[in-house]
Amino acid sequence: MGTDTTELEYALRGKAWKVYWYILKKGEPVGVREVQRALRFSSPSVANHHLEQLCELGLVAKQDIGGQYVLVGEVKIGVLRHYVKLGKLLFPRFFFYSLFSTVFYLSYLTILMNSFSRDNLFIVIFGAIVCGIFWYEAYRIWKMRPF
């Protein structure tokens, strides 16, 4: 499996990676011109080339009626390993960790912290650092998306 993943990562890069990401996010069949316009390719033939490349990799299939391309296989390679798909939206996995830790941190500060003691100071500093790290990682992964 490791070799297949490595070969797929090698084949799925550049514009083909952007086309795959677009189809994955869209969640419905796409046409050549739609991909060309959405990704600002110079011509429909560039989009068609990369769609056909994805077909050869077994990730998309061309529909007989309408000639649109539909996603048939999802792979967790590259930056996609760090993403979670909810419907048509892709979120960095760290986004959920960030949200969870921040909600509990703010809940502690507003509800549970009675006074400002030495113990509470440690929790306040530690909680701020943890939340900061999670938000930084979520942002870093978000910036790694193809577009």
Q: What is the full DSSP assignment across 73-124? A: -----GGGGGEEEETTEEEEHHHHHHHHHHHHHHHIIIII--S--HHHHHHH
Give the span between the Cα atoms of 105 and 135, in whole angstroms. Answer: 13
Mention the CATH class of domain 2-71: mainly alpha
The model's confidence at residue 4, banded by pLDDT at 50, 70 and 90, is low
Q: What is the pLDDT of residues 32-50, one digit of tens each?
A: 999 999 999 999 999 999 9
pLDDT tens by residue, 47-94 = 999 999 999 888 899 998 888 999 887 787 777 888 888 877 888 999
What three-state secondary structure class fits 29?
Answer: coil
> CATH 1.10.10.10 in the chain, residues?
2-71
Question: At residue 19, does pLDDT exceed 50?
Answer: yes
Mean of pLDDT values over 137-147: 87
What is the pTM (predicted TM-score) of this model?
A: 0.69
Per-residue tokens: 114:
């009675």
Query: What SS3 state is found at 30?
Result: strand
Computed from CA positions of residues 112, 116, 122, 126, in that sequence, does the dihedral angle turn out positive or negative? positive
Phi, psi of 102 (to 5 degrees): -70, -40
Residue closest to 144 by CA, chosen among 74, 77, 79? 79
